[in-house]
Structure 1
Amino acid sequence: MSPKVFVKEEKAQVQTPSLKASALSSSYSQYLVKFQSLIALFILCLIISLLSDKFLTVANGWNVMRQISVNICISVGMTLVVLTAGIDLSVGSVLALCGAITAGLLKFGIELPSQDLFIGFTLLGAVMAGMLTGTLLGTFNGWTITRFKVPPFVATLAVLTIARGLTMLYTKGFPISGLGADFAYIGTGWLLGIPVPVWISGVIVVMAVILTNKTRLGRYIYAIGGNESAARLSGININKVKTTVYAIAGGLAAIGGIIVTSRLDSAQPNAGISYELDAIAAVVIGGTSLSGGRGSILGTVQGAIIIGVLNNGLVLLNVSPFWQQVVKGLVILLAVIIDKANSKSE
């Protein structure tokens, strides 16, 4: 008996270094996956700074932060949707419609000649009306998806077309400009040395982090994305949670539209085109799985920064807008491939 015991102990001693090496390799790969967005951002900034001396300037830094503020607003809502294994393609058109409605109510109000009635709107009233419009459109998305079991891709694609058409009808195809200094402050003003849009997006991020990490709704969102059948059996109201998530996404798209309209001092009928692609790119690059149930708001913020830096760098390097679309498409594809590879390794 004793020789057998001795042999087993010897085998265990021989296997121990390989087990340690495997554990170290596993922890190293997990470390890379966890910080892959930050590593990619660092490499991207390094390359652009070497190619352009205008990149690492304070003015350009604030410019990038202003630009990504809008994408962060949209991407945070998109993250909540994707965490439930959904998608929202309508956010760009919702952004345009809500910006147009806010601008139109602020400048023209509502006039009913047949009733000899005119309703004027304050700045707060116009902004609230724009946010309400976005929330209602998002609620309509959620209701269509949950009530009629329409795939999110199809339902939100339909609302994308509807909202874009309504924008054209409301504006008659012309910009609504000259909205006043108070409204312009939302998109161009400064508060305590920081641009107002950055403050707005920062508050949204903080609230979203609290929602996903500290509330029951946040736990339900992850549960539905992880396993919808199990979530339903555990008593979670799937339809209510999904409708709420799409409503939040619509409201945040409206905030993005208000910021864009304020920055331009004009509501453009074609505003927000392809914004949904940048939002989806930020979500995927930030590590949120398109299958749902895995991801974080802070990861999406990192993804939005990467997209913003990439856009800014391509402009500084005078890259053709057509090639910019090609590059962004390749980045999205690479991010999805990495996501799938990480899912298989888990």
Structure 2
Amino acid sequence: MRSSREILKNPEMLTLLGFIVICLFFSIATSEFLTFTNISNILRQVSINGILAVGMTFVILTGGIDLSVGSVMAFTGTIMAGLMINNGLPPYIGILLGILLGAAVGYINGMFVAYAKIPAIIVTLAMMEIARGLALLYTGGYPLSGMPSSFTFIGRGYLFGVIPMPVIIMALVFFLAYIILNHLPLGRYIYALGGNEEAVRLSGIKVKRIKALVFMVSGVTASISGLIITSRLASGQPNAGVGFELDAIAAVVLGGTAISGGRGHIFGTFLGALLLGVLSNGLNLVGVSPYVQRVLKGAIIIGAIYYSSTRKKD
């Protein structure tokens, strides 16, 4: 049996306990919380932030940050929509090109961070504006609607009539991330890079290439989230994803990944995303103002980072 002190030092266990407590509270506070419809809705909402948070986990593990994910999500989503609506391409071609675009944008971020040695916060802040501006230019500032039903099924459909398709996609993304981070050499290099970059460089590992790759992963996950939200809304929204980078960062740090890099687990990221989704849903059900929710979200991030820093000192 683990002592209470050991549990309190485990960020994943703390997040899991917080998730259980929040679920118990809202199940008592409102009868709508534990309904099948609401749980399905929570999982569908969590899937977008969860997938974004996977890419953010890769970046933060190396000691970086990616503020462009919300804008990249909108940019790639509008491009997918435009390719299908304006150019008549089949959905699978539009999806593939959109994901490749997300990978390219992420790789550009990584190139500037790794090779030009510009701080990640500056590079991705600039890309946040560039990608959002390109999305607005491409659409003229208006949504692109008229999606084929085969595309909207991705965001609205169910597997076996029960499990939302976005949840299936999220599960696959988390599974792949788990394999990479825990069973492949690249995962070990990512953790090592966040722990001691100079030692990794001296060992002969190509640090710059790894940095570029993790930002590319973040771009890919942002484009997958863009695919889901575009499919769910049945339109390409140039203003989609505003503030989503904050949600992704919150899920990662709440899940126990150290903001300085080198320590964390993809399962913790999933718990963090799930906790935030349940908290947001429950607060909406009990009628808490969205403005208050933003304050709470900011406080949660500060608390999680403070806990992470004190744990590092121990």
Short-chain TM bin: over 0.9
- Aligned residue number for residue 216 of structure 1: 185
- Aligned residue number for residue 92 of structure 1: 70
* 1:33 Cα deviation from its structure 2 partner: 2.6
* 1:27 Cα deviation from its structure 2 partner: 5.0
1:248 aligns with 2:217: yes
* 1:31 Cα deviation from its structure 2 partner: 2.2
Paired amino acid for 1:127: I
- Which of the residues 14, 36, 41 maps onto 1:58? 36
Written as runs of structure 1 = structure 2, the 5 A alignment for 1:268-279 is: 268-279=237-248
Query: How far apart, in 1, do the equivalents of 2:175 and 2:146 lie?
Result: 33
Q: Determine helix, strand or coil for the equivalent of 2:9.
A: helix
Written as runs of structure 1 = structure 2, the 5 A alignment for 1:311-330 is: 311-330=280-299
Paired amino acid for 1:54: E
- Aligned residue number for residue 135 of structure 1: 103
* 1:342 Cα deviation from its structure 2 partner: 1.3
1:105 aligns with 2:83: yes
Larger radius of gyration: 1
* 1:28 Cα deviation from its structure 2 partner: 3.6
- Aligned residue number for residue 256 of structure 2: 287
Query: How far apart, in 1, do the equivalents of 2:138 and 2:6 lie?
Result: 51
- Which of the residues 35, 39, 48 maps onto 2:17? 39
1:197 aligns with 2:166: yes
Paired amino acid for 2:258: S
Paired amino acid for 2:187: G
Query: How far apart, in 1, do the equivalents of 2:192 and 2:3 lie?
Result: 26
Per-residue deviation, residues 208-250 of structure 1 (Å, max 9, x unmatched): 0000000010000000000000010111100000101100110
- Aligned residue number for residue 148 of structure 1: 116
Query: How far apart, in 1, do the equivalents of 2:187 and 2:54 lie?
Result: 13
Matched pairs, number: 311
What's the TM-score, normalizing by structure 1?
0.88
- Aligned residue number for residue 12 of structure 1: none
Aligned Cα RMSD in Å?
1.2
- Which of the residues 163, 167, 179 maps onto 2:147? 179
Stretch deviating more after TM superposition (177-186 or 295-304): 177-186
Structure 2 unpaired stretches of 5+: none
- Which of the residues 205, 220, 225 maps onto 1:236? 205
Paired amino acid for 1:131: I
Q: Alignment identity in percent?
A: 47
Query: How far apart, in 2, do the equivalents of 1:142 and 1:299 lie?
Result: 24
1:262 aligns with 2:231: yes
Query: How far apart, in 2, do the equivalents of 1:74 and 1:31 lie?
Result: 28
- Aligned residue number for residue 6 of structure 2: 30
